[in-house]
Amino acid sequence: MSVDATLPAPGQPETSPRLPIAVALLWLAAITASALPWLDQLLPSQLVSAFWSFDGDQYASVLAHFSWAPRVSMAVLIGCALGLAGAVTQQVLGNPLASPTTLGVEAGGQFGVTLATLFAPGLLAFSPDLAAVAGGLLAIGLVVLLTWRLGFSPVSVILAGLVVTFFLGAINMAFLLLKGEWLGNLFIWGAGSLIQNNWTPFFDLLPRVVVIAALLLALLRPLQLLQLGQASANSLGAKVSLLRAAALFLVVIMSSVVVSRVGVVAFVGLAAPVLARLLGARTLTERLLWSTLAGGGLLLLADTLAHWATTWDGGSLVPTGTTTALIGGPIILLALQGFRNTHHMPGQEASPAAFLPRRRSPVAVAGVLCSLLAVTITLSMGWSPGLEGWNWTPLVQWTEAWVWRGPRLMAAILAGMALGMAGTLIQRMTGNPMGSPELLGISGGAGLVMVVLVLTGLDIGRPGQLAAATAGAAGALGLLLLLARKHHFAGNQLLLGGLALYVFMDAGLRLVMASGGTVASRLLNWMYGSTWLIPESEAFALLALVVGLGTLLLLTLRPLTLLPLGDTPASSLGLPVARARLLLLVLAAVLTAASTVVIGPLSFVGLIAPHLARVLGQQTVGRQLMVAALAGGLLLSLADYLARILVYPNQLPAGLLAALVGGLYFLWGLSRHGRG
């Protein structure tokens, strides 16, 4: 058959010998590290026999049999399961970035279990899997639905997955914040912990994983045909979509049964196949096999590191989710080198010429936005709940009301404007309509610095925070520009870079989450924006900053228009390219940092506002900047108002509401964009 001719037969010399050696080394390192702490209490032979027996008189042996051995087995089993699931996902979607994590499946599973814990604990007792599977299916369902029209274009699938992850994550966080004290166990579980104290969970999970793996392998042969490419596979008929759906369904179940038992051990399903590919796995069989094995080794290593870190930390739990994220980040960065840039961002191919809504008068659009903003400001200042119910504050009392409602509203509007401008700036600089401070990890860079500040307990005040966050944002942006310059700011590299930054931030977040409710609540409150903390003085300082930067931006309109043309044309038009680029970089970083300190790194406003401006028909740089700033301000002022009134006297972080609204808009925009 012609199909076979194109596939190298097993055992052919092209299989890189690096692969088995590297994976064997990984396993060796993981097992040695895992066994090391036990060897001063037990003989190696006793330790090996701990997997099937124990000596009731020697507690170390009991401990090894019921705590260590099941934990090792669990890590290997889950690692293999996720490695396989990741490799299959990549194959099915023809997407080197796909994995249960990046498709939002794990976040969905977590979402399902959180909801069940709060509203239907009986369901969890009946079957822990149901809620997680339902959540996972919801997540991937959203992703599939949204990207259907785009023909699952790889990068848009990942984008949609990322947004679904943030979106479901935001709802999750809202519950954790409002119900934190009740959900101490959810904090730990969400952070991912593989601690075991008997074999039941392992033997519970084993048959499920084996059955799902067998089913997946049964799809191996048809999957192999898929590898030949969409065109030839299509000739096989409608079965292709069915096959993909079946495989994805199995992947969801696989990830969900794992999530429902040990929480989110993110990025193993992404890192394992990436590692296998980097080490030279070529054919599908090779990739599935080595990805599975690499997954097991990786998770065992990550879990052992978590265990070690726990010991160093005075017994305070370091969740495995933290270490998988710490290992996953560098592997993703490594992968940056390995991928050919064959994929484009959605919107990239549909360059401005192909995506041109009707031009509208900027004055009219700005006028409408301004009046909406005025309405929001009036509502926010005047119509509020109090301890005695809702009431309308008369205009004469606004000076009093200003103290509590004014500065936060002003800060929210300014942060929104800053994000709108930063987003436009970055989109123009990268020439990519999907580039935004959030998705490219620039907010993530600022967020990472803030997480580190919280973790180390340093108190450096607002100006210090702003400086540190600016450094973080500038670092992230500079790194991205450096990495992406040779790829012309397109495709995987940018996204991967942003993803890797989030991975690191995630690692810190998980560590804090596992350490206990109160600390975590404070961090989460900040992460999603605590506008309520802003006093007048800071609001006015922010005003000065944003107005100053805005003015500066107006002076850089020319370089902004010229830079996307490319370095050579730009410099031939008399632009000092290097200096202009540096200036813009610093501007974007300061704008992003200023808004991140106020609203947190996850608000999506930097993505939506410039997009809205274009949808509203503003094509030139200056107009887009202005309208995006207004739209951003409007969005966050609304979010701040809702955050204050929805659950009064409790409050939600404003950034969280913005993320919810923004996520919805983006999901809607993505599907609509694809239809066009």
**Residues making contact with other proteins (CB under 8 A):** 56, 59, 62-63, 65-67, 121, 125, 177-178, 181, 184-185, 188-189, 193, 195-198, 200, 310, 314-317, 384, 386-387, 403-405, 457, 459, 514-516, 518-519, 521-522, 525, 530, 532-533, 535, 537, 644, 648-651, 653
In the complex, the smallest distance separating the C-beta of residue 617 from other proteins, rounded to whole angstroms, is: 39
- Choice between 4 and 181, CB closer to other proteins: 181
Minimal distance in Å, beta carbon 201 to other proteins? 9
| Least spacing, CB of residue 308 vs other proteins, in Å | 13
Residues whose CB is less than 8 angstroms from the CB of residue 152 and which lie 6 or more positions away in sequence, other chains included: 93, 94, 95, 144
Q: How far apart are CA 175 and CA 192, in angstroms?
A: 18
Minimum Å gap between C-beta 651 and other proteins is 5
Tell me how far apart the terminal alpha carbons of the chain are, to the nearest angstrom.
40
Spatial contact of 628 and 458, defined as CB atoms under 8 Å apart: no
Nearer to other proteins, 380 or 624 (CB): 380
- Cα–Cα distance, 619 to 466 (Å, whole number): 32
Amino acid at 612: L
Show the tokens assigned to 606: 């930097």
Minimum CB distance to other proteins smaller for 323 or for 671 = 323
Min separation Cβ 173 and other proteins, Å:
13
> Quick one: 106 or 303, whose CB is closer to other proteins?
303
- Supply 138's token pair: 């919801």
Minimal distance in Å, beta carbon 473 to other proteins? 21
Comparing CB distances to other proteins, the nearer of 7 and 62 is 62
CA–CA dist 452, 458 (Å, integer): 9
Beta carbon of residue 537, minimum distance to other proteins (angstroms, whole number): 8
Task: Identify the CA nearest to 450 among candidates 439, 435, 460, 440.
Answer: 460
Q: Output the smallest distance, CB 234 to other proteins, in A.
A: 48
CB of 545 to other proteins, least distance (A): 19
Strand, helix or coil for residue 422: helix
Three-state DSSP state, 201: helix
Report helix, strand or coil for 261: helix
Comparing CB distances to other proteins, the nearer of 59 and 119 is: 59
Q: Could you give the 3-state DSSP secondary structure of residue 385?
A: strand
Cβ proximity to other proteins: between 368 and 455 the closer is 455
Least CB distance to other proteins at residue 663 (A): 22
Whole-angstrom Cα distance, residue 614 to residue 358?
Answer: 9
The DSSP symbol for 66 reads I
Structure tokens at 494: 């940018």
Given the complex with other proteins, which of 478 and 516 has the nearer CB atom? Answer: 516
Query: What's the token pair of residue 6?
Result: 């194109």
What's the token pair of residue 469? 């966050």
Q: Which helix (H) or strand (E) holds 140?
A: helix 128-147
Which lies closer to other proteins via its Cβ, residue 63 or residue 471? 63
- Rounded to whole angstroms, the Cα distance separating 295 from 75 reads 9
State in angstroms the smallest separation of the CB of 185 from other proteins.
Answer: 4
361 class by beta-carbon count within 10 Å (0-12 exposed, 13-18 middle, 19+ buried): exposed
Closest to other proteins by CB, 196 or 430: 196
- To other proteins, the closest distance from the beta carbon of 261 in angstroms equals 11
Contact 170, 659 (CB under 8 A): yes
State the Cα–Cα distance between residues 28 and 173, nearest whole angstrom: 38
Nearer to other proteins, 255 or 530 (CB): 530
What φ, ψ does residue 445 adopt, rounded to 5°?
-60, -45
CA distance 273 to 153: 19
Output 31 or 533, the one with its CB closest to other proteins.
Answer: 533
CB 167 within 8 A of CB 110: no
The three-state secondary structure class of 155 is helix
Q: Which of 160, 172, 108, 100 is nearest to 134 (CA)?
A: 108
